[in-house]
Amino acid sequence: MIRKTSKELYAAYRESMRKIADIRYASAVLQWDQETYLPPKGAAIRGQQISTLSEMAHQLFTEEKQGALLQELRMREDLTDKEKKNISLSWEDYEKQKKIPSAFVRELSDAVNKSFHSWILARKENGFAKFSPELAHLVALKKKEAEYLGYAEHPYDALLDEFDKGSTVNKLNKVFGDIRTPLKTLLDKIMAKPQVDDSFLRQHFPRDKQWAFGLDILRRLGYDMEAGRQDISEHPFTINFNSNDVRVTTRIDENDFGAMTWSCIHEAGHALYEQGLPEEEYGLPCGEAASLTIHESQSRLWENHIGRSEAFCSFQFPLLQQYFPEQFGGLSAAELYKGINKVQPSLIRTEADELTYHFHVMIRFDIEKALIEGSLHAVDIPAFWNEQYARYLNIEAPDDKRGCLQDIHWSHGSFGYFPTYSLGSFCAAQLFDAARQSVPSLETGLDTGHYQPLLQWLRDNLHRQGRHYNSNELMINITGKEPGIDNFYQYLLDKYKNIYNF
């Protein structure tokens, strides 16, 4: 018997992983269509199609021969560092996925499909009761998934780990505990000052002009339209099928300019990351994003540190007036900057300012934690939601659509995702400070609408690393320290002292 070389074994591994990726991304195309163009009557069969592909991918990845191949490659010493890392991460994924039966993967996929369409209907009818039964079933399945995966302390830990390896309830309790009081103190200080005017954002903005403006901004930020496209969906999202096919969606409110504009920039951040992943690593761990925390660091960096900056407002203001001369003709760039950074407790997370945004995230974290541990039930969410919004932001949702039905995440079964928005924001501030120190021409470039130096720095230091490093390792490598709240809090202080004069 001729023993195969490491090169031959690695080639077999790469081929099998890419075959599995082909199936997963084929399923992702169906999911993209489901949320953009699928006719209502196609929902049931579409769910079946997605479930079949999900089960097939899981079965292929957890086959005994795949495990044997990975085990053999783990013992080979003549692989490159990147090859060793791919094998190590794939083995870690294999051991985790091996714990979950393929039948359960299909059951969960079926439940997600039903839950998603139930959520769509509930939003149309503005009633959480239409969504609650499917959500309760999904929560039960996510609890079961946590048991399959295993955990040391809290069942929610198993789900958090799927979005950011090493994330736990205890760690998040500490992070949110450390930032909650400083944010509340800063919010109270700002609320005591004269409020800035943002009424110019709530005029009539024709749908077609908003659409064209959004596409223009995407291109200016560096989003490659030859490797992507934008569509409309109920909830904005980014989805990728490979680094040369990364798609974004947005939603348009003709009476609220902010609803589309900063969601476009947010999704652009996600898409720029995916377009920057190494094409040659398609299907392999080093061709995937490091974590959802790092993914959100990219969207929050572009949305806030760029899209809500003085430099962006100043340079892009003539473009804004070109598209909307009647609405912004009598406005100044300085007024635009202050208005889009207005701090005010509000209902919708995706439209919240950079300070109160994190109370939205903390509330969702508390709800998810309670659902998974069993101290809260799906049917009780609306009441608990309003109680927490009154506590943290002193507001109450007038209806479910603007309250507990506003996010798509639970209908997707994405329990554990929400904390990454805050963690990503903290990392974004840390990364942006590191970029400014590393690239002397960065500030000048941003002042003149040149975003390529920042994008290139992110590509070199972060995007091309794929999943080679976890969140902590990546942040240490790039910024010299572990992720923390200090850079973010200082960023808020500097911004709002300037806007609110305190």
Active-site residue set: 267
Give which of 331, 358, 364 is closest to 345, Cα–Cα.
Answer: 358
Q: Phi and psi for 172 in degrees, rounded to 5?
A: -70, -35
- 257 within 8 A of 210, measured Cβ to Cβ: yes
Nearest-angstrom CA–CA distance, 37 and 45: 15
The continuous run of DSSP H or E covering 238 comes out as strand 238-242
Q: How far apart are CA 84 and CA 265, in angstroms?
A: 36
CB of 427 within 8 A of CB of 293?
yes
Q: Is 58 left (phi over 0), alpha (psi -120 to 50) or beta?
A: alpha
Residues 246, 36, 242: CA angle, nearest 5 degrees: 20
Query: At 361, which amino acid appears?
Result: V
CB 405 within 8 A of CB 122: yes
Q: Please report the DSSP string for 206-219 in residue order.
A: -HHHHHHHHHHHHH
Quote the distance between the C-alpha of residue 145 and its chain's center: 22
Residue 428 has a CB neighbour count (10 Å cut-off) of 25
User: Which among 219, 220, 241, 221 is positioned nearest to 230, based on CA atoms?
Assistant: 219
CA distances from 402 to 260, 266, 351, 389, 444 (A): 17, 20, 11, 12, 40
Query: DSSP of 29-76, one letter per residue?
Result: HHHHHHHHT--GGGHHHHHHHHHHHHHHHHHHHT-HHHHHHHHHHHT-
CB 477 within 8 A of CB 469: yes
> Is the Cβ–Cβ distance between 461 and 427 less than 8 Å?
no
Backbone conformation region of residue 236, classed left if phi is above 0, alpha if psi is from -120 to 50, else beta: beta
31-66 burial, b if ≥16 CB within 10 A, otherwise e?
Answer: bbebbeeeeeeebeebbebbbebbbbbbebbbeeeb
Distances (CA, A) of 450 to 79, 222, 429: 40, 10, 20
